[in-house]
Structure 1
Amino acid sequence: MKCCSKPKLCSHKLSFYPQVFLEPIKEWSYFVGDRVEILSGPDKGKQGIVSEVIEERNWVLVEGLNTKLKVLGRTKQFYGSVVSVEQPLLINREVALVDPADMLSTKVEWRYTEDGEKVRVSHRTGRIIPVPNQARTTHDYKSKTTYKESPKDTTDSEISKITFSPTLSTFEMDIMKSEGIEETRIPNKTYWY
C-alpha cells in the first residue's frame, strides 16, 4: 500500500536523511599539501598529506589514510575490481596540523608578521608553518611566476576602478532622480500587526 501518489516527495521519507549542522570556520587553516596527523579511527597517530579540502563540510581527504574498500565495475560476468577510497575527516576533531620543526601535531593560529604578512603559527613551538605551494595552484597556472598574461586578461587599472556607488534608494527612486521627477505624495500609515 502506497502512502502517497508521489513517493519521492513524501514528507515522512525526508526524515531518513539526518540534517547536518555545521559551524563555518572563519579562518581556514588546512590547505592541499599540508602534513596532518589523524587523531581518531583505525589510522590514529598516522601522518599524511592533504589531497583535497572540502570547506563546505569542514572535511579534508588525506592521501592513503582513512580508506574504505569499494567494488567498482561489478557485472554478471565480472566480479569487479576492489579499490580503496579515501574517506573525509572532520578538521574539528579528527585531524591536527603537523609542525615541520619537530613533526608533532599542534594547534595553529593566524598572526601577522612585522611586514604585515598573514602566517600560520604553531601554538607549541611558536614557529611559522608555511602554506604549501600546492595550495596556490589554480586552473590557470601551477605557480604565479609561470603565468603569462594575454590580451584578454583584465588589467590591474581596470580592476581597481570604482564603478558602483551604493545608495539607499530603490530602482524606482533612481529613475525618478534621473528624470527629474519629485515625489509629493504622502503615503498612508500602515500597521504590521
Structure 2
Amino acid sequence: MQKILRRVATAERVAAKRKKAKDLKFYKKEKKESVGQSRQQLGMVREDFERAKRAIRDDWALGPLAPRNDVGEWDSAHGTVHEARFRGQGGLSLAMRNRRCQWAGGAYNLNIAVGDRVVLLDGPDKGRIGLIREIDPMRAEVVVADLNKSNIRIAQELRPEGDEKTAALNIELPIPISSIRLVHPMKDPTTGVTKDVIINQLVHGSKLHDRVSGKKAWKRVVPGLNVNIPWPRKGEDSTRDTKADTLRIDVEAKTFVPTLLRPPMPETVIDELRGRYSRFRTRHEPEYIARLEAEAQAKKDRAKLMESMRTPLQELHRAERANNKKKGKPRLTVEMLEKIGEVIAKNRERTLNAAGVSGAGRASTSGSGGGLPPAPQVGGEGVVPPTIIEPTSQETAPPSPSA
C-alpha cells in the first residue's frame, strides 16, 4: 500500500510540474505577443508625430510648394488615426490593471458597470459626463458614449463598395478607467438639494459567492460615508414580434390529441424522425415497395440473360455436372476392390525389393523378435525408410489347446 501511495504522489508531482511548465510557456508566449504589439503601436505613434512635425515645418518653410500629405493611402484621411491604433491588442498585466482600477475596487471586483454615468478627467472632453457603453476588463478600458471621439482612417480594402469618399470614421476611442470617475446624484443633508457628486473611491461590501454556479454579487459602497451606490438597471428587451415570428400562444396551444382510432404519432413525424425509406421501418410507402420489387425483378431478368449467353462448351459442362449430380455418389464394386488390392500388393513388393529384403530374411527377422532390418544406403544419395515386416499367417495363428 505504501508503494502505491508513493507512486501516486510521484505521478501527481510530475503532472503538476508539467502543468506549471506548460502554463509558463503559454504566459511567456502571450507576453511576447503583447509586448510586440505594444511596441508596434508605439512605433506607429512616433511615426505619426514625426509626420505631423515634418508637415508643419514644410508648411512654414515651403508654403504652397510643400508636399501634399493627403495622397496615396492617406487620400482624404490626412490627420486621422491609423486603424491599427484604434484599439490596443492583447491584455495588460494584473498589476497594471489593478493600478488603473484602484479607485473602483480593483480589477477583480470592479465597481463600475455598463450604463453608469462617469466624468472624464483627461482628453479633449475633460469634465463632460457620459454613459459607459462598453468595458474591456483585460485592458481596464471603457468606451463612453459620444465622448473621446476621434477620426479613424478606413483602409481601401475596408471601405464599402461604391463608397470611395468615406475615408475616415468618427467614433469613440477607449479610455483607461483611471481617467474616469463615477457620477451619482446624492442629497445634501444640510440643504436637502440633490446634486451630481463625483465619487473618487469605491469599495465592495456584503460580498456573496455561489459555489454551485460560481456567480459573485456584492454592493458598492462609498468609504467613509457608508452610502450604497445602486447598480444601473438593465434595459428592457427591445426585441419585438414580427410577422415571420411564431407567437408564444401559438407555440403553447395544444393542437394534437391522440385517440384510439389513429396512432399516437402522425406518419409525417415518423418520416422526420427516421428515414422515410429506412429498412428498420415497419410501414413503407407504396412507391418504395414498387421500386424494390422492380429492382428484384431486374436482377432476375439479368440472371436469365446471362444464362442465355452461355457458349456451347459451357452448356456441355453444365449438362455433365447435372448428370453427375443425378447419379449420386459412386460406389465401389467387388472387382474394383480386388483391383485396388492387387495394386497395393505390387507397390509393397516393389518397395521391399528396393530395400533388399527377401522372403527368407523377412521370416527370420520376424521370428527373432520382429525387429527392423538395418536401412542400407541406396546409391549414396539418401536413406531408404525402413519397412515394417508384418508377421505371416502361421506366426499369428493362436496356439493349440494342447500347448
1:1-193 correspondence to structure 2 within 5 Å: 14=36, 16-17=39-40, 20-23=92-95, 24=97, 25-72=107-154, 73=159, 78-80=164-166, 82-91=168-177, 93-101=178-186, 102-106=195-199, 107-112=201-206, 118-123=218-223, 125-134=225-234, 142=237
Q: 1:81 to 1:98 in 2, by over 3 A?
A: same
Take 1:128 and 1:82, find their aligned partners in 2: how far apart are those partners? 43
Take 1:36 and 1:126, find their aligned partners in 2: how far apart are those partners? 20
CA RMSD of aligned residues (A): 3.6
Cα pair 1:121 1:127 within 8 Å, conserved: yes
User: Which structure has the highest strand share of the two?
Assistant: 1
- Residue 103 of structure 1: SS of its match in structure 2? strand
Alpha-carbon distance, 1:49 to partner:
0.2
- Residue 56 of structure 1: SS of its match in structure 2? coil
Cα pair 1:61 1:87 within 8 Å, conserved: yes
What percent of counterpart residues are identical?
Answer: 25
Alpha-carbon distance, 1:78 to partner:
2.5
Give the number of the structure with larger relative contact order, counting CA–CA contacts within 8 Å between residues 6 or more apart.
1
Normalised by the length of structure 1, the TM-score is 0.52
Q: 1:118 to 1:129 in 2, by over 3 A?
A: same
Whichever of the two has the greater Rg, that structure is 2
- Residue 133 of structure 1: SS of its match in structure 2? coil
Alpha-carbon distance, 1:71 to partner:
4.5
Correspondence for 1:6: none
Cα pair 1:31 1:131 within 8 Å, conserved: yes
Cα pair 1:22 1:57 within 8 Å, conserved: no
Alpha-carbon distance, 1:21 to partner:
3.7
Cα pair 1:42 1:66 within 8 Å, conserved: yes
Take 1:45 and 1:83, find their aligned partners in 2: how far apart are those partners? 24
Cα pair 1:37 1:97 within 8 Å, conserved: yes
Q: Which amino acid aligns with 2:221?
A: V
Normalised by the length of structure 2, the TM-score is 0.27
Take 1:112 and 1:77, find their aligned partners in 2: how far apart are those partners? 54
Take 1:89 and 1:124, find their aligned partners in 2: how far apart are those partners? 28
